[in-house]
Amino acid sequence: MPDCLFCKIVSGEVPSRKIYEDGDVLAFYDVTPQAPVHALVIPKKHIGDLNMLTDDEAGLVGHIFLVVRRLAKELNLTEGYRVVHNCGVHGGQTVAHLHFHLLGGREMLWPPG
Ligand code: 5GP
Ligand code: ZN
C-alpha cells in the first residue's frame, strides 16, 4: 500500500526501532509510548484492520499472538501485559494497517476510556 505508514516501516522507507522480525511479522516500539513498554506487532502484508482479515489469514494472527507472548517474555513483562487492537473510528484506530499494541511495565486501568 503506497500511502500506508506501516507498510513504509516494513519496507524501511520510514525508520523504526525494531524489536523482532520474521518473514511475516514485524515488531517495533511505538513512537508515542503509553506505558514503559509499548510495542506494535504487525503483519508485513497490508491488512487494514480486523474487519478486513480473511479466513486464510487467521493463522497469521495466531502467529502474531505467539510473537506477542515471546516479546512479553523477552521484555520481562513478568507481572502481565495488555494486548490491544483498535478497530475503526470508534475503536480509536489511527493507522489503517492491522496492528496489535503490546503494553506493559505498569498496571493498566479498566475501563480503558
Ligand atoms: P492506533 O491508534 O491506530 O491503534 O495506533 C497507531 C499507533 O502508531 C499509535 O500508538 C502511534 O503512536 C503509533 N505511530 C504513529 N506513527 C508512528 C511512527 O511513525 N512510528 C512508530 N513507531 N509508531 C507510530
Ligand atoms: Zn500497510
Which tens digits make up the pLDDT trace of 31-89? 999 999 999 999 999 999 999 999 999 999 999 999 999 999 999 999 999 999 999 99
**Which residue among 31, 47, 86, 100 is best mutated to probe the pocket of ligand 1, counting the most ligand atoms within 8 A of its Cβ?**
31
CA distance 48 to 45: 10
CATH architecture of the domain covering 5-104: 2-Layer Sandwich (3.30)
How many angstroms does the Cα of residue 13 sit away from the middle of ligand 2?
A: 12
Mutational pocket test of ligand 1: of 95, 101, 102, 103, the residue with most ligand atoms within 8 Å of the beta carbon: 95
Global pTM reads 0.98
Helix (H) or strand (E) holding 89: helix 88-91
